[in-house]
Every structure is written in structure tokens, then in C-alpha cells.
Amino acid sequence: MGGQWLLFSVDLLALFGIYLALNLSLRLQLGYTGIANFGLVLAFTGGAYVGGWLPIRLGMWLVEVDPSLAEDMIWNNVIIASQVDLSLQGAPFTAMTILLLTLLAAGAAGALLGLLSGYPAVRLGGDYLAISLLAFGEVLAIIGNNYDPVVGGPLGVRIPDVWAWAGDWRFMAASLANCVLALGVWVYLNSVERSPLGRVLRAIRDNSDAAASLGKNVARIRLNVIVAGGIICGLAGAMYTLYTTGVAPSALSRFDWTFLPWVMVIFGGSGSNVGVLIGTFVFILVQKLIITYKFALSFLPFDPVWLQFLLMGLVLILVLNFRPSGLVTEKASYALGRREMAKAAGKEGL
Amino acid sequence: MASFIDALTYSALLGLMGFGLTLIRRTTGVWNVAHGEVVTIGAYVALTATSFLSHSPYFFLPLAFIVCAAVSGIIFLAGIEPIRAKGASSMLLLVVTIAISLITIAAINIYADYLQNVFHLASKNFLFARFDFTLWGQMGILWSAWAALGALTVSYYLMLQHTRLGLALRALAEQPALAIVMGANVKALSFLSWCLAGGAAGLAGCLFPMRFQCHPGVGTSMIATMFAVSIFGGIEKMYGPLFAGLVLGFAQIYGIDLISSWIGPGVIPFKDLIPMIVLLLTLQFLPEGLSGFVGRRRG
């Protein structure tokens, strides 16, 4: 029982880290800049594909694996991944090298996908921008499902476990790494919050015409934000793949990686990092509980997993009706900290 | 020839799906992400009625129209209107339709599971081709899909041009603020638009399994294509989806067959990329769509 709960908690932590990073990326785009990015899944999928494609090749290069297996990397991926796993169990440095190189490539892929999807979209207004990004989000799913060399087509691929060296602590290490990613994004957003950049982003969100009249290049700044968001999503996608040690295009759906983050962010409040954190935790917990206890509901004549969708939709409608700013509303942010403000006020004799 | 006929059939069905999306956007300013699920509900109405009443799905076209019109009307009254009344932006309303989409996806899948587990129906993957008839050497779905789309487009056009209700709907679409000042009942007109749009989606959903495989996610998977039809056709005129459906349907089925005969069959699985490309090119270079472009040239 204790072991079950530990596994539950560790998996909860892992998903929480991934979703928090993804949701903070949405917070940067929607909450700060007013960009309704319905294509989060694009950069996330890009990162996940990099996570499915690169580690196995790096593994073959860095550790000793039967070279004849490379003739068909997709067909032999399970054997290659198993052989690489055996080597990585005693080679944490090699494993971390694979991890870092994969993250670098995934971040670059996310940035590129953000640029490609954002460039034509940023000049569009409101809901047209949203639909444009929604359409972009579908592109990689179509390619991944139909072009086997990427990640093995609809069946997907297994990848080497870069956490194999941690032994019994493998899941804990991977979960903590996911949370470190989320923490990094959190720190970055906090630094943006009080910076001149943060104020420019909020100005664009609140009145893009006014921001443009003050000399701000609105389209370019929006594009930069989409690219930054793309990097975060790409990293989250790669971390997810490295955690699950496999990737299949069908697991990277619009609902799981675009709409669910939207529900979490709207529920918690797109104007607050804390709100996003609460929204993420609540929904991941509910999702995990439904999946864990679905067998207790086996008397139902349908798959209880659908209750999660029902719940998500209802909660979103209720929040939009009665508290559109979410659980935690946006607070005014100041250029200086409290102490500096008090000091400045003292000097001014206020 | 077979792919030409498939393309013609698919075009009509796309036109029917895009018709509803365009109508809702044109009259109420909302892009309805849940429209795909309403199409799926139409397919499940046909499956249920056909399975339990043992008649051809064609008999149940009116039923599919009514059920989906009712569902769409309820979506408007329960989901959209309360939030719109508070002055929500079109962006926020789009998010509301996502919430509705999640609820309807859950409801459709629960219903499909129920049909499968309790009545042992093949509700996760079905096709009604065996029920189809043949007319002039072609499957009935070709004629019926075009008849439904043609009848809907023409009757809607006549209603817009020659009735007081149509005049009010035009006013709502073109000058909503003025329409309100002049005493138009915006809520009733919007409700009517959502019902009509839902009815059109129901027809598309009921006809779709006559030629193409259906499953609980069929409408959801086609929503980006529906957006492409609606945006490429333009929201200015209701004949837009008809022409856009033709172009996209042919590009996706007939066009890809032609391309594959030149560069090999490897390109066929990527046919679903075509609507995305068309959508993105339209938003960049022809944001008013085909009908808007034609109107501008004339005018």
C-alpha cells in the first residue's frame, strides 16, 4: 500500500513538473502578452519527437551497441534502447550528456517551431490568431503518425532511459528533474514580472495600439514571446519523453497538451503564477485519482476516464461564468520591491 | 473516376460542416470549436436509430437535424449566452466552446461505450455503406449530400433575401449594434442561427458514415478542416462553404491522388495537411476568404 502511494506521489510529481512548465509557458503568452496560443501541442510535440529521435542515436554513438542494429533504428529500437540502458546504469556522466544534448536540441526545435508558427500568425488579431495556432498544432501529429523515421509512426518508439543510473531512485530522480525544469521557468517568469520587458508585455496585452504608438514593435515582441514559449514547451516535451522512456504520436493529443493546460490556467488564473500552480496541481491530482481509481468504478457501463473530460469542461464553464479571472486574480506589480519603494518614498519625503 | 466521385461526396459533406461554422461566426461572432462534436452527434443519432429501428439512415435525416439543432441551441443558451451577456470577447467565447467541446466529447464517448457494453453495438467504428442505394450508376450518398447542401444553401439564401427574419439576421451579422438599437431580438436570432447550424451539422453527421468510417472522435479530428472550409470560403456569404468545400474536398482526395500518381503513393497519408496549409495561406493572403474576395472585386 505504502509502495503504491509512493509510486502515485512520484508520478504525480513528474506530471506536475511537466504540466507546470507547459502552463507557465501559456501564462507567459496568454497572461502576460494576451496571445491565445491554442497550438501549445506543436512545440511540445516537437520536443517530444526530439526526445524520441535523438537519445537513441546519441546512445549508439556514446556507448557500445551492436552496430548492425543501426541498419533499421525504428525496427530495432527496443533492442538498442535495452542495450544502451545496460551501459547507462553504470555511466551517469554519459546519461547526463545525452540528457543535456537532448534538451538543447528540444529547446532549439521548440524555438524553431514557435518561430514557424508565430511568424505568420502574430499579425492576426484575437481569435484568428488562436485558430491559426490551433491549425499549426495539428501539423506534427499528422507527420509523426504517417512518417515512420521520425518516431516510428503510430506505434511510436522506446528510448534509452537516461535515469537508469539512479537504480531504484530512477522515478524519483526523473520527477525531481521535471520539477527543476518547472522551477527554472517559474524563476524566469518572476524575473520578467518586474522587468521593463514584463511591463511592455502587459502593455501589449492591454492595448496593443497604445504600445505600438509608443514605439514598441508589437508583432516582433509577440513573436519573441511565442518563440520563448516554444522553447519551454519543447523542453517540457523532451522531459516528458525522457520520463516515460517512449513516445507515440497518439499520446501527444491536442486535448492533453493544449486544451488541458488551458483549463488549468483559466481555472487557476492566467494573471498569476501562483494561480497557475494551484490550477495545475488540482487538475493533475484529479486526473491521477480518476486514472488510479477507475477500476473501483468498473460497474459503470463506460470508461470512467471520460469523467475527467466532463469535469474539466464543467469546471471551465463555471469558472468563466462566475470567476473569469480564475482562482487567483492578477495583482498590480511594481518596478521596485517593497523595501526599495519605501526607501524611494522616504527620500522623496512622501 | 472513383476518387473523383469520392471527392465530390466529401466536398458536399465538408460544405455542410462548414456551413454551420460559418453561420454561427457570421451571426454571433463565435468560432465554435464544439461544432465537430455536433457533427459526431448526428452520426450517433443515425447509428442509434438505424440499429434499433432497422431502417436506412436516410430515414433519420430529419431526426438528426432536429436532435443536433436542439443540442446546438442548448449549447448556445446554457454555455454561450450567459457569458456573452456579460460582455465577453469573441476570444473568451472561443474558450467557452472548448469547454463545451470537452463536455460533448465525454458525453459522446460515454454514449458510445454504453451502446457497446450494454447493447453490443459496434459503436466505436461504423460504416453504413450497406444501406446506400444507387442512382444513375452512383451511390446515393453523392446525390443526397449535394441535395442537402444545395437545399440548405438555397433556402437560407432565400430566407435572408425575402423574409423579415432574414433581414433581421442580415442586420445582426452586418451591424449588430444597429440591429439592437432597431429592436431586433438578438438572443432569439442568435439562438435560431445556432439551431440552424447544429441542424446542418446533424445532416453532415448522419450522411458521413454512408461513405466514411465513423468513430467517437470523427468530428473532433476534422475541426481544423472545418475551420479551413469556413475561413477559406469566407464568412461574408453563405455560399462560401459550398465553394470552399469543393476546393478542399477535391484537393484532399482527388488532388492527392493526382500528386501521388506523379511522385508516388508516399504522399497520400499527408493529405490532411492540405486543409492546414490552405487555412494558413488564407489567413495570410486572403483573410476575407473566397466570398469576401469576390465581393470586393465586384464592389
**pLDDT per residue as tens digits for the range A286-303:** 888 888 888 888 888 888
Separation CA A239–CA B119 (nearest Å): 43
Average pLDDT, chain B: 88
Per-residue pLDDT at A269 exceeds 60: yes
Number of Cβ pairs < 8 A linking chain A and chain B: 128
What is the SS3 assignment for B126?
strand
**Would you call A145 an interface residue with chain B, using a CB distance cutoff of 8 Å?**
yes
Residue corresponding to grid cell 523515421: A149
Per-residue pLDDT at B46 exceeds 90: yes
CA distance A301 to chain B (A): 5
Q: Is residue A271 part of a domain?
A: no
Per-residue pLDDT at A349 exceeds 60: no
What would the CATH number be for the domain defined by B2-290? 1.10.3470
B137: alpha, beta or left, given left = phi > 0 and alpha = psi -120 to 50?
left
**A348 — pLDDT class (breaks 50, 70, 90):** low
Per-residue pLDDT at A75 exceeds 70: yes
H or E segment to which residue B134 belongs: strand B134-135
How many domains would you assign to chain A? 1
**Would you call A125 an interface residue with chain B, using a CB distance cutoff of 8 Å?**
no
Residue of chain A nearest B75, judged by CA positions: A317
Q: What is the pLDDT of residue B166?
A: 81
Q: What is the extent of the structural domain holding A142?
A: 2-253
Contacts of B124 (CB under 8 A, 6+ apart): B112, B116, B215, B216
Residue of chain A nearest B285, judged by CA positions: A120
Nearest to B83 among A263, A303, A321 (CB): A321
Lowest mean pLDDT among A9-18, A58-67, A196-205, B241-250: A58-67
Residue corresponding to grid cell 442509434: B48
Phi, psi of A255 (to 5 degrees): -70, -45
Cell of A272: 498569476
CA distance B273 to chain A (A): 7
Residue corresponding to grid cell 444501406: B131
Cell of B6: 469520392
Nearest to B270 among A142, A255, A316 (CB): A142
**Would you call A119 an interface residue with chain B, using a CB distance cutoff of 8 Å?**
no
Q: What is the pLDDT of residue B159?
A: 84
**pLDDT per residue as tens digits for the range A335-345:** 666 777 777 77
Cell of B272: 490532411
Q: Is residue A307 part of a domain?
A: no
Q: Is residue A308 part of a domain?
A: no
Q: Is residue A305 part of a domain?
A: no
Q: Do A312 and B113 touch (CB under 8 A)?
A: no
3-state SS of chain A? CHHHHHHHHHHHHHHHHHHHHHHHHHHHHHHHCCCCCCCHHHHHHHHHHHHHHHHHHHHHHHCCCCHHHHHHCCCCHHHHHHHHHHHHCCCHHHHHHHHHHHHHHHHHHHHHHHHHHHHHHCCCCHHHHHHHHHHHHHHHHHHHHHCHHHHCHHHCEECCCCCHHHHHHHHHHHHHHHHHHHHHHHHHHHHHHCCHHHHHHHHHHHCHHHHHHCCCCHHHHHHHHHHHHHHHHHHHHHHHHHHHCEECHHHCCHHHHHHHHHHHHHHHCCCCHHHHHHHHHHHHHHHHHHHHCHHHHCCCCCCCHHHHHHHHHHHHHHHHHHCCCCCCCCCCCCCCCHHHHHHHHHHCCC
What is the SS3 assignment for B60?
helix
**B298 — pLDDT class (breaks 50, 70, 90):** low
Q: Do B113 and A303 touch (CB under 8 A)?
A: yes
**pLDDT per residue as tens digits for the range B132-176:** 888 887 888 889 999 999 998 888 888 888 888 888 887 877 777
Q: What type of residue sits at position B51?
A: S
**Would you call A263 an interface residue with chain B, using a CB distance cutoff of 8 Å?**
yes
Nearest to A313 among B100, B118, B275 (CB): B100
Separation CA B43–CA B17 (nearest Å): 12
Q: Is residue A283 part of a domain?
A: no
CA distance B159 to chain A (A): 29
Q: Do A131 and B31 touch (CB under 8 A)?
A: yes
Q: How many CA atoms lie within 13 A of B85 on its CB side?
A: 11
**A240 — pLDDT class (breaks 50, 70, 90):** very high
Residue of chain B nearest A153, judged by CA positions: B269
Q: Do B228 and A135 touch (CB under 8 A)?
A: yes
Residue of chain A nearest B101, judged by CA positions: A313
Percent of the residues in chain A that have a pLDDT greater than 90, as a whole number: 42
Residue A88 sits at the vertex; the CA angle it makes with A85 and A89, to the nearest 5 degrees, is: 90
Q: What is the pLDDT of residue A5?
A: 84
Q: Do A266 and B95 touch (CB under 8 A)?
A: yes
* B264 vs A220, more confident: A220
Q: What type of residue sits at position B72?
A: S
Phi, psi of A160 (to 5 degrees): -65, 150
Give residue ranges of B with CB < 8 Å to any A CB. 31, 33, 79, 82-83, 88-92, 94-96, 98-107, 109-110, 113-114, 117-118, 224, 227-228, 231, 269-270, 272-273, 275-276, 279-280, 283-284, 287
